[in-house]
Amino acid sequence: MHPQVHEPKSGECPFCGMDLTPVRHASKAEAGPAVEYWTCSMHPQVREPKPGECPFCGMDLTPVRAASGKGAAAASASAEIHLDADAIRQAGVRTEKVARRKLSREITLFGSIGDDLNRRREVVSLVEGRIERQWIDFNQAEVAKGAALVSLYSAEAMGLQEEYLKALRERWLSTFYERDLLGAAVKIAGEKLRRLGFTEADLRQLERERAPRNEIVLRAPIDGAIVENLARLGEVVKAGQPLYRLAPLDEVWFNARVFEPDLGALRPGQTIRVTTKADPGRAHLGRLVYIGRSLDETNRTASVRFALANPERVLLPNMSASGTAEIPLGDAVLSVPTSAVLDLGTRRLVYVQKEEQVFAAREVRVGQAAAHYVEIVEGLAEGETVVVAGAFLVDAQAQLRGGGGGMNSHDPASH
């Protein structure tokens, strides 16, 4: 009743007369392990000699006691760690189920955009002449099929027009029995002019005027862009000399080179996501259409080609580009996110969630690695829940509490 009374021997309380009760001092064995230092659950590198707040996050420091005897043996044998809800939230712990997945790895390729050479067309003159006018005088202009490109003055073309008009006159003046034969001559002469670039409207105009033109017009054979302009005003061109190169840009090529170790993983039809420096935030989907059959002796690479749809014409020839291709690794295998596996050098460790706030360290054996997942060969079962974010902090808590941590204390290679 009166704890202020401290007597060295038994007797009665001088105030109330009740018998005094003995108070024994606790022995070191009964007092329990002493506090070694105070630390923060979020920042285990903090070690203070007395209680207080964490200098980084302001949380109250927690005591770390020295493990000894039977208690220490039990702590080191246990792989479980208990964390309260606040510590889990502060550590940003996130979990995911162990599941079977079809894994794939990524190959990054570098190259450039090019036009489809199989669809490229050249504009050439079939007769010698001088360039009198260029209707299109800039590179990479989009033109429609039949659009006028260049006008040539050609004496040879005028002679072919005279030949056509002569065949027409002879057919008009022929008898009924000769008309079929002379009609064939008109057709042949007309075909020569069509090959020079004359349209049906041009032929009808020639028939009406009955006089040859001193210029002929070369027109675009396809819809596309002028990817190369070789014509110069006033230049005399030879028969068969290319003046323009046209290519449709609604579909383009991504030309790249792949290193020898990755070559065997590629198959025609595989997809790739291509980005360019001109628009780095936009990806264009392509498919593999060509794999080179020889290696460059210097850098040990082979050429590959992917076809890309380009309806908006944003991909232009000679643009630098890079692509990422996903390569399937086979059938579905047991796997977890790569962030779930702690690399201890000679071993791999994951933390399994046993209960809502209880986690246990588990050693695993891993197999093939993919872009974001790794195969688990041994140590986990399908459906188990593992820590995929915050595993390092959980491991730090396990080390502090002597509950199965592994990043520093359990791996011989780390010392």
pLDDT tens digits, 237-262 = 898 889 889 999 999 999 999 998 88
Of 5-19, 278-292, 359-373, where does mean pLDDT reach its minimum?
A: 5-19
Domains and CATH numbers, the chain: 30-78 (no CATH), 85-103+332-400 (2.40.420.20), 107-116+248-325 (2.40.30.170), 121-247 (2.40.50.100)
Type of residue at 313: R
**44 has pLDDT over 70:** no
Q: How far apart are CA 284 and CA 274, in angstroms?
A: 5
Q: How confident is the model at residue 65 (pLDDT cuts 50, 70, 90)?
A: low
Predicted confidence at residue 79, as pLDDT, reads 55
Predicted confidence at residue 139, as pLDDT, reads 57
Average pLDDT (131-158) is: 83
pLDDT tens digits, 2-27 = 555 667 666 777 766 666 666 554 44
pLDDT tens digits, 380-401 = 888 888 888 877 777 776 666 5
pLDDT tens digits, 97-120 = 888 988 888 889 999 999 999 999
Average pLDDT (151-175) is: 83
